[in-house]
Structure 1
């Protein structure tokens, strides 16, 4: 099947909405659903806030097909950049979402983000995540999964990182997802809980990394 991958540069509002919608569909509109107070209608806007923040501090890549346009996306933060690290990123949709959920969930997010950062530092090593290309959110709509689209979204940034010898890293949940990333060459750096979910269950994440090396056979 014909498809293409590109970085969104100076995107239209329609492209941004379609990217967020594709990610929401990839997660069956359940992405951090319980931490949004069970408000399913906030899932797509929540992911749009992620897209907006990435445009400010990272790189947004999409996969497209002729018939349906954007059907997947990957939100990357390069070395020295981090999700929600600036007031501008917070103001690009995150703060608005937080204003629409109850105080108990806003407090949960404040705690979770701190626990999550601590887990990543412990698993990857001090400063490793910040010095790598980090995959914040990644997904392909169900009808187009298992066709190599996701791998292409990873390869797009991997080729760029390889030129500088920079690593790729990410966090995920579940044995299936872990095996998928391992098939792409990622290795487990560690795992552990990032606090409790709003339903009081452990949120166990696995941290994976791929050390991209420069191509010694390439010529300048």
Structure 2
């Protein structure tokens, strides 16, 4: 399901150098991290068990690629990258993304919130409320905690706004990639 949905977006292409193998390792790293440190939600077709939609959330005080599980989740991804891209991840992307989160959400806010790391619905099942349902699952259980997310695809902003999220800054932060003509915009969003 994942490969069909975002194989051509600037975010994935920048993080993987456009390599298909690295792209699969990127997706796998997020899923593994979700199972180890977060919560993974899946909507399946009742008769065939085919995944129609899924979401990966990190509850308060948990996060993607936590130190305790980093090797299991990230090691195959990093091994699939060129040395130049590996260095970019470690020295530019990850530190810049952490700073972006602190600046946009506020110090420690993302860590204290429910963070939506990934969500997707098969194209054939979009517009049926499945992704919104996967957001409402957390909205119903979060208590006083906030929900937050980052958006790399401008067209997705409207969906999240309809789901009750507000863009914290109308102007996107732009991450420069490692390679020429690579990079992507990011917006931070918080639940109302």
| Corresponding residue number in structure 1 for 2:40 | 60
Q: Distance in 2 between matches of 1:69 and 1:53?
A: 22
Using the TM superposition, give the Cα deviation of residue 46 of structure 1 relative to its aligned residue in structure 2, in angstroms. Answer: 2.1
Q: What is residue 3 of structure 2 aligned with on the other side?
A: 24
Equivalents in 2 of 1:97, 1:91: separation in Å? 10
Residue 88 (structure 2) aligns with: 108
Q: Does 1:188 align with 2:179?
A: no
Take 1:201 and 1:46, find their aligned partners in 2: how far apart are those partners? 17
2:53 equivalent to 1:72: yes
Higher relative contact order (CA 8 A, sep 6+): 2
2:75 is equivalent to residue 95 of structure 1: yes
Which structure has the bigger radius of gyration? 1
- Which sections of structure 2, spanning at least 5 residues, go unmatched? none
Report the TM-score, using the length of structure 2 for normalisation: 0.88
Residue number among 165, 179, 182 corresponding to 2:158 in the alignment? 179
**Structure 1 moving runs of 4+ over 3 Å:** 28-31, 198-202
Paired residues of 1:27 and 1:139 also in contact (CA < 8 A): no
Equivalenced residue count is: 187
Please tell me the root mean square deviation across aligned C-alpha atoms, in Å.
Answer: 1.9
Structure 1 residues not aligned, in runs of 5+: 1-21, 212-220
8 A contact 2:57–2:117 mirrored in 1: yes
Q: Distance in 1 between matches of 2:161 and 2:145?
A: 18
